[in-house]
């Protein structure tokens, strides 16, 4: 692992989150949902990279979230996964659904995903 690689992941994660907010404000809900998924994925990969030097080559948000749980059991991420499994799956599905399926995201659902992204960021901040 290089510090530069980790920093690029972190910077891109937050760029995706900022972009999701702009896209939401512009009414581009499908692309906003995709950007939210990328924020989750890159944030988790960044956290794993700085803690372990690597991360699993997967796009699964839940699988990636289970990895830091092994490193920071005091955060009780498994409890978070259990409580938020529906939203976590919705975030994970956004990668495919927003690009390839005839699925249209609506304002209310993307707004909920943005609020969820804020809670997620607070949760993993110190992992």
The domain that holds 27 is classified in CATH as 1.20.120.330
List, in order, residues 6 or more apart from 90 with CB less than 8 Å away: 109, 113
Dig out the tokens for 113 from the structure.
Answer: 């995903």
Return the H-helix or E-strand segment holding 26. none
Residue 103 sits at φ, ψ, to 5 deg, of: -100, 130
Dig out the tokens for 16 from the structure.
Answer: 């995706």
CA-angle at 31, arms to 26 and 34, nearest 5° = 140
With both helix axes pointing from N to C terminus, report the angle between 3-25 and 107-124 in degrees, rounded to the nearest 10: 150
Residue 110 predicted with pLDDT over 90: yes
Q: Please, are residues 69 and 78 in contact by the beta-carbon 8 Å criterion? A: yes
Q: How confident is the model at residue 1 (pLDDT cuts 50, 70, 90)?
A: low
Question: Given this model, what pLDDT does residue 3 score?
Answer: 87
The pLDDT tens digits of the residues spanning 24-82 come to 999 999 999 999 999 999 999 999 999 899 999 998 999 999 888 777 887 788 889 99
List the domain range (segments joined by +) for residue 32.
Answer: 3-124
The pLDDT tens digits of the residues spanning 75-103 come to 788 889 999 999 999 999 998 888 787 78
CA 115 – CA 100 distance, rounded (Å): 25
Number of domains into which the chain is organized: 1
Dig out the tokens for 4 from the structure.
Answer: 């530069």
Question: Given this model, what pLDDT does residue 104 score?
Answer: 92
pTM score of the predicted model: 0.92
């Amino acid at each position: 692992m290089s510090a530069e690689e980790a920093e690029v992941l972190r910077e891109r994660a937050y760029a995706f989150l900022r972009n999701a907010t702009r896209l939401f404000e512009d009414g581009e809900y499908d692309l906003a949902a995709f950007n939210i998924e990328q924020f989750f994925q890159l944030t988790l990969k960044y956290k794993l990279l700085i803690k372990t030097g690597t991360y699993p080559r997967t796009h699964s948000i839940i699988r990636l979230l289970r990895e830091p749980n092994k490193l920071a059991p005091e955060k009780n991420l498994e409890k978070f996964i259990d409580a938020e499994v529906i939203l976590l799956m919705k975030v994970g599905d956004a990668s495919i659904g927003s690009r390839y399926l005839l699925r249209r995201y609506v304002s209310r659902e993307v707004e909920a995903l943005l609020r969820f992204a804020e809670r997620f960021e607070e949760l993993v901040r110190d992992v």
